[in-house]
Amino acid sequence: MRGLLRRGLPMVICGLSLFGATSLWADECPGNPDALGTSRTIVVDPSEHPRLGAMQYHESLPLEDHEVVITFDDGPLPPRSTRVLEILAHECVKATYFMVGRMARSFPDTVRHTRDAGHTIGTHSYSHPFTFHKMSIEKAQSEINDGIAAVASALGDGTEPAPFFRIPGLLRADGVERYLASRQIQVWSADFPADDWLKIEPTQVYARALQRIEANHKGILLLHDIQTRTVEALPNLLRELKRRGYRVVHVVSATADLPRTATDSSQWTKHARPRWPAAPIIIETEAELLVPSPASFGVDASFDSRSVIHAPVHRPHASFPPRGQTPAPQVSTPRVSAWPRGLGGLPEVPALPDRPQLPAPSSQSLGYLGNAPPPWIEISASADAAPETTGVGNDIRHLLDSLPPEDSPTGSIPPLPPQPRGPISTASMPRGAYP
């Protein structure tokens, strides 16, 4: 961290005050007097607030109205990550990065470029597995520690990244969070995403991000710097945030030389889940049962139940036939059987609560691949550009698989192998929200 203070944060520290720090205002941005800028820097102590992000936790950053923290996952991946850095530099905006260890090993120059530009660098595991919620704690520890070591190696000055960690896919687990807390590493979720991992247009990324920011008026925005659609949407998004009066806040970790920003505990509490238009939930159900007919009750089909329900019941006095005459034969009514048949031996079903119970979300709720083998399609890419990604479940995995071997010189990314075409959907809340 001291290396980060020496290289990446000197211009931030000089403006520290009791409630934050002035970093770069718009009128101080070289060559762009209309820039969005970075309004202030807040210093957080991971040991005091180990988990952040209203998408999953009860606490988020102590932001004021119209303040936004911008975060990027899954990089670095040039030239897209490089282009994002250029856009941020043009607007004098500081962001928080959560880097994948294998990506950092493959592109260490981009890691150092990010640090030298003054951004905060956290980690996002070593190989970005989507199994943190069910893997062994030993495996999770290895993913966390190897990711930190890979990013530290890419930094190259003997320092470690910031003690900020975002779980891949936001698939949280109590044991993982306890381990991170024991190492005083802060777990970051988010307050709202832009859905930029889905196969949508840049205009939709822009619109969803802006819509959700406006619905909450402040918070942590989740983006991915490996996505072309994000690169294309980012300039317009930053300009529109400026036009609407939003301010960007930079976040760094407290150290012995850098005390935390003074805040009140109530500033961290999120009293409600983030609000944004939820995607419709489609549930496949069994075909509806037919309305039972009179025959289901053992009654002749011509029988009209209304005559029984509404007709008055006559109970004539008993009369006996005259002596010597045979009594009139009695007409027997049909025998009614229980319906449906065959359920008498079943155990009693417990009463359901008043609130309807939805099934637990599957991995497909966030766009991950299901267990069934999908059809395959061929995807090719040029040698001088990273291949396009299409979904949160398969894009990062195939992207990591396409990286050069770790013991070979780094270079351009080869074309992806055949990618599965998986279902893509959005979810309003990831697994494990509000533990």
Quick: pLDDT tens for 364-423: 444 444 444 333 333 333 334 455 545 556 678 878 888 877 655 444 544 444 433 333
Cα 261 to Cα 39: distance, rounded to the nearest angstrom: 15
With respect to residue 397, please indicate whether it lies within any of the assigned structural domains.
Answer: no
Residue located via tokens 């009514």: 333
> Which of these, 338, 313, 164, 336, lies nearest to 251 by C-alpha position?
164
With respect to residue 104, please indicate whether it lies within any of the assigned structural domains.
Answer: yes
H or E segment to which residue 164 belongs = strand 164-165
Q: DSSP states of 392-423 as a string?
A: TTTHHHHHHHTSPPTTS---PPPPPPPEE---
Cβ distance 248 to 94 under 8 Å? yes
Structure tokens at 161: 């990244």
What single letter denotes the amino acid at residue 84?
Answer: V
Please check the confidence at residue 217 and state whether its pLDDT lies above 80. Answer: yes
Chain segment 256-291, per-residue pLDDT in tens = 999 999 999 899 987 545 555 544 433 344 444 555
User: Maximum distance among all alpha carbons in the chain?
Assistant: 124
Predicted pLDDT of residue 77 = 96
Cα 214 to Cα 274: distance, rounded to the nearest angstrom: 11
Q: How confident is the model at residue 156 (pLDDT cuts 50, 70, 90)?
A: very high
> Which of these, 144, 95, 153, 150, lies nearest to 124 by C-alpha position?
144
| Residue 279 neighbours by CB under 8 Å, 6+ apart | 425, 426, 427, 428
Chain segment 103-150, per-residue pLDDT in tens = 999 999 999 999 999 999 999 999 999 999 999 999 999 999 999 999
What single letter denotes the amino acid at residue 401?
Answer: D
Chain segment 52-103, per-residue pLDDT in tens = 999 999 999 999 999 999 999 999 999 999 999 999 999 999 999 999 999 9
Cα angle 293, 299, 305 (rounded to 5 degrees) comes to: 70
What mean pLDDT is predicted for residues 10-37?
62
Domain that holds residue 176: 2-267
Q: Tally Cβ neighbours within 10 Å of residue 32.
A: 14
With respect to residue 135, please indicate whether it lies within any of the assigned structural domains.
Answer: yes
Cis peptide preceding 79, ω within 30 of 0: yes
Predicted pLDDT of residue 339 = 40
Structure tokens at 241: 């945030």
End-to-end CA distance of the chain: 30
> Around 271, how many Cα atoms within 13 Å sit in the side-chain half-sphere?
3
H or E segment to which residue 73 belongs = strand 67-73
With respect to residue 213, please indicate whether it lies within any of the assigned structural domains.
Answer: yes
Cα 21 to Cα 250: distance, rounded to the nearest angstrom: 9
What mean pLDDT is predicted for residues 208-224?
97
Classified as helix, coil or strand, 376 is strand
With respect to residue 429, please indicate whether it lies within any of the assigned structural domains.
Answer: no
Cβ distance 36 to 242 under 8 Å? yes
What single letter denotes the amino acid at residue 278?
Answer: A
Tally of domains in the chain? 1
What CATH number has the domain bearing residue 138?
A: 3.20.20.370
Residue located via tokens 């969070």: 177
Q: How confident is the model at residue 7 (pLDDT cuts 50, 70, 90)?
A: very low
With respect to residue 152, please indicate whether it lies within any of the assigned structural domains.
Answer: yes
Classified as helix, coil or strand, 117 is coil
Structure tokens at 142: 């290895």
Name residue 197's beta-bridge partners: none
Neighbour-count burial of 170, counting CB atoms closer than 10 A to its CB (0-12 exposed, 13-18 middle, 19+ buried):
buried
Structure tokens at 333: 């009514």
With respect to residue 325, please indicate whether it lies within any of the assigned structural domains.
Answer: no
With respect to residue 281, please indicate whether it lies within any of the assigned structural domains.
Answer: no
What is the overall mean pLDDT for the chain? 75
Cα 113 to Cα 86: distance, rounded to the nearest angstrom: 10
Structure tokens at 239: 């300009």
Cα of 287 vs its chain's centroid, Å: 33
Neighbour-count burial of 408, counting CB atoms closer than 10 A to its CB (0-12 exposed, 13-18 middle, 19+ buried):
exposed
